[in-house]
Structures are given as C-alpha cells and as structure tokens.
Amino acid sequence: MRTVAILAIGAIALSMGPGRVSAMSEDPPDHRNLAINDPDQFAWQLFAAVNRPASPDSNQAVWETWAEQTVVYSDACEAPTWPGPDGPFAARPSSLVEFLKEHVEQRGVANDPFNALDGDQNVQQVKINRPFFNYVVENDIWYQQGLIEHASTEGVDLPLGAIVYKADWTQITADDKPRYHWRVVSGYDYEQAIGGGGASNSSSAGDGAEPSPVILGLYAFHIVSKATPNWVWTTWNHADTKGRCDYIGCRDDFGVEPSYVAPHRQMGKDYPAGELTSATRILLEDAGLPDAWRHYRLMGTMTRFTDLTGRPELLGNAILEPGFGNTSSCTTCHSMATIGASGSSLSFLKSTQPFEGFVGTPDPSWFFPSQSTAATPIVYQTDHMWQLPQEAGANVRYDCDGVCSSTACDSGGSGFETPTTGNAANASSAPRGAKGTIL
C-alpha cells in the first residue's frame, strides 16, 4: 500500500514539472501563524491595521468607526444597525474600574490602585468590528433572552476576524496633541459620558451655560482578535503613563528596544519609552499612521493560560485593570464571561480585600455543578466577551409590539436573580459584578 501511495505522489509531482517536484517532496507546508508563533509581531500588525486613519483626511482611526457597545445593546426590541460615519460620541466610565473604585471608597483596600493613578475623569469605549457585529445581529444575541438561548444551545463562537477595541480616553491640553491620538468632543457629550449615560444626545442637555468642548487623548487600550480560539490579547499604553510596567514589567519582542522593561519596586513611576525598532517604524509608515501613534507602547500579549511548565501567565494594564497586576490574567478572567439561565454570570474577582484576580487554567467547577462535568453547566461561556453578559444580559426584552416574550412581562423584574447553585469556587467570597447583576 505504502509503495503504491509513494508512486502515486511521485507521478503527480513529475506531471507538474521539475520546479514543483522539489516543492512537493521537500518543503513542509507553511506552518507560519503569526498569532501563535510571533504574537508581538501580530500585535503590531493589528495595531497598524486598526489605528490607521479611517479615510485619507480623517483624524478618526478605523476602529473609531466601529459599533460601540452602549449603542449595540441599547434596545431589546430592535436589532442594532451599523453606525454611520458621524455617529455621536458614545462612551462612559469603565464599569470594571468603577467597580474597583466603589470598593476602595466604601471599604478601603490594601492595594489601592487609584492613589498612583491620574485620569480620574477618564471615559471608555468598547468598539466591535463588522464581523463581530454581524454575528451579534445574525444570532440574536443583543438582548438577554436571545443570548441565553444561543449560549445554551449552539454556544457563542465569534468568527475568525472578530476584533474588539477597548479604549480609555483622558483629558489633554492643546499642547499635548502632537503626542496623542486625540479627538474633540462637545462638553455635553463629555458630561454625558462621565455621567455614565453612554450614547449622548446633545439636544437634551439642560439650560445652563454650554460646557466647553474637551480634548480627549487616547491613554490606554486593549486590542483583542479572534485569530485563535482563545483570542489574542494585546494591551497598550501611552509611553508617558506612570506605572505602566508595574508588577510584571513590559515585554515586546517585536516593536521596541529593549524588549523587556523590568517593573520598579515602587508603583506609579515613569518608565523609559525605549526605541521603536526599524521594522515597526516601517510598518507604521506603510500603514499611513500619523506620528502620534509612535508614542504608544505594547505592554504585552497573551495567548494562553499558563506557560509550558504550567505556571499561570499574567497580563494586566495599569489603567484598565488597575491594582491587581500580580494576579491579572486576560485569558482566565475573560474565560469567566458567562451567562446562566436566569441571566447571572460568574464574578470576575477572586477577592476584593486585597484585589485579587483568577489566574491560570479555568476550573471546571466554575462552570459545572460540583458532582459532574458531564452535567448541564450552571453558566455558559460567552466566548470570553464580558460585554455579552453585562450589556446584552442587561438588555432584557419585555414587551415588544405589545407581545410578551417567553420570560418577560410576567416576571416584571429585571430578569436577574441569584442562582441557587453558584459556582462553587467563588460564590462565597464573590463580589457582585459591576452592574450589580453579576454574581
């Protein structure tokens, strides 16, 4: 049998001519997969692709034209539509950061992240690209009941090509503009965003004096891509961000020299910006990125839960996941983005005193009843996307066109309840989630 097979391949090779013969018999197939084998290079390619100007004379980057979560999950009766080029500025404070702040204010915490941070009045945007958005619409997961149905039957599985950009904006001065990616927003839009209103509506602002426009500079961001089943997690800061390499240091094997910057012993200090490598400069220039983008640095990239010896890998941004950088894992925390039959989810912190995250390989007992992992899960994963339980999960369908949906109307409440069987691992010590709806 074997001889026959070899002869057959030889015959095909010969029939394709001498050049092809060597290609077929000696060269291995193309094994390159940047997202897996060189994730830092992949990170910079992603950076260049989504941060380039949306059109030749626009100050908006490509990702700014995508759909913002506060708009996508705002109406439970009507499917969202892809935004036009000049949609209003939709943003609000980060619910994760607000949650941490609330804890610090109420009870104090040993590792208070906020005494080291500026940017108290920052606002956040979470933007999803077209493949992500289409998946949300086609699978009816922009509202709670649709999400629960899809997560518990087919399972949420965003397509290859889905990208999410989570941006943190801070107020800057006109002098800072050359060093930042910036945008000007109306005073009303900014106040609306700070107040947590999400999508703005300038005409409804009060009678008081018009607040002046605000210049917002991009301060910190995550870009994540579904290039692998567990996503590729990349996180970035403006080079001037104090404390940006705290806890675990900054590691970038493609973009910058030196490739590793060790953490300081004292938190919240400046870190050297290093020099962009020539490969990165060329990449940014070819993509037509304005010079301001050279002032951003990759803190690190994450593609798995542990290293090859089983030690948990860590990554957390000083601005976006402040205060628990020594127990912050993008992949582990996001594996806990889940929804249960009653709209509940897992908690995202192991402890709030001091702040501590979950790290390493996910634990089946988080998802399944303790007796058996063959049983129906208590909560269903939402493909690592926290916006699904938090935003779609809070977007409950009640009475569309006067017709009650299966679970709404008669319940009359928010649709959320605490499940009787919580995830064993963290139910007892679990803080309630940022919106008060997450277990």
- Site residues for ligand HEC per CB under 6 A: 94-96, 126, 164, 166, 222, 224, 233, 235, 315-317, 321, 328-330, 333-334, 348-349, 357, 385-387, 390, 434
Residue 194 vs residues 74, 95, 124, 164, 258: alpha-carbon distances, Å = 18, 12, 9, 22, 37
261-268: which pairs have CB atoms within 8 A and are 24 or more residues apart?
267/116, 267/243, 268/115, 268/116, 268/117, 268/242, 268/243
Q: Is 219 helix (H, G, I), strand (E, B) or coil?
A: strand
Nearer to ligand HEC, 76 or 346 (CB): 346
Residue 216, strand partner residues = 171, 183
Nearer to ligand HEC, 316 or 422 (CB): 316
CB 253 within 8 A of CB 279: no
Nearer to ligand HEC, 315 or 396 (CB): 315
342/357 Cα distance (integer angstroms): 25
CB of 214 to ligand HEC, least distance (A): 21
CB 194 within 8 A of CB 93: yes
Nearer to ligand HEC, 144 or 387 (CB): 387
CB of 124 to ligand HEC, least distance (A): 6
CB of 367 to ligand HEC, least distance (A): 16
Does the CA dihedral 424-425-430-436 come out positive or negative? Answer: negative
339-375 in b/e form (b: 16+ CB < 10 A) is bbbbbbbbbbbbbbeebbbbbeebbeebbbeeeeeee
φ, ψ (nearest 5 deg) of residue 302: -135, 135
Residue 227, strand partner residues = none
Nearer to ligand HEC, 256 or 299 (CB): 299
Nearer to ligand HEC, 292 or 385 (CB): 385
CB of 390 to ligand HEC, least distance (A): 5
CB of 115 to ligand HEC, least distance (A): 20
End-to-end CA distance of the chain: 60
CB of 241 to ligand HEC, least distance (A): 14
Residue 67, strand partner residues = 128
Nearer to ligand HEC, 38 or 356 (CB): 356
- Residue appearing with tokens 């993008």: 330
106/4 Cα distance (integer angstroms): 76
Nearer to ligand HEC, 125 or 186 (CB): 125
CB of 236 to ligand HEC, least distance (A): 9
CB of 235 to ligand HEC, least distance (A): 4
